[in-house]
Structure 1
């Protein structure tokens, strides 16, 4: 499981900001980065993950979780 430092929470910023955050985490030596989003930001999280995979071909998706918090 990723440490709290390797979690990117997707919100209202532009997608390139989140892509840069993920790429920065990997360049600092992170072995995994978790992208989290809720509601309308889920599509932005998917876009972020896809752009990161294009920029860093060695990066692979480990798992996708969909659920609700209660």
Structure 2
């Protein structure tokens, strides 16, 4: 499936999304994409940092892409 290695961040607690990232990574995913819209951008940054610093110390952030939808 296309969205297997994507975690969509919304309004749930940060640790829910961290668990999803760690689960994807431990399940054999080479990359995990964190997608977010609007006000949850800071929550997505928190998810990436908590996952990287606390659980997946060998993980690296490859790139950050910010874009706006086309009108």
* TMscore range, shorter length: over 0.9
Question: What RMSD, in angstroms, separates the aligned Cα atoms of the two structures?
Answer: 0.7
Q: How many residues align?
A: 68
Structure 2 match to 1:37:
36
CA distance in 2 between partners of 1:53 and 1:12 (Å): 20
Q: TM-score, normalised by structure 1?
A: 0.93
Q: TM-score, normalised by structure 2?
A: 0.92
Q: Which sections of structure 2, spanning at least 5 residues, go unmatched?
A: none
CA distance in 2 between partners of 1:56 and 1:27 (Å): 9
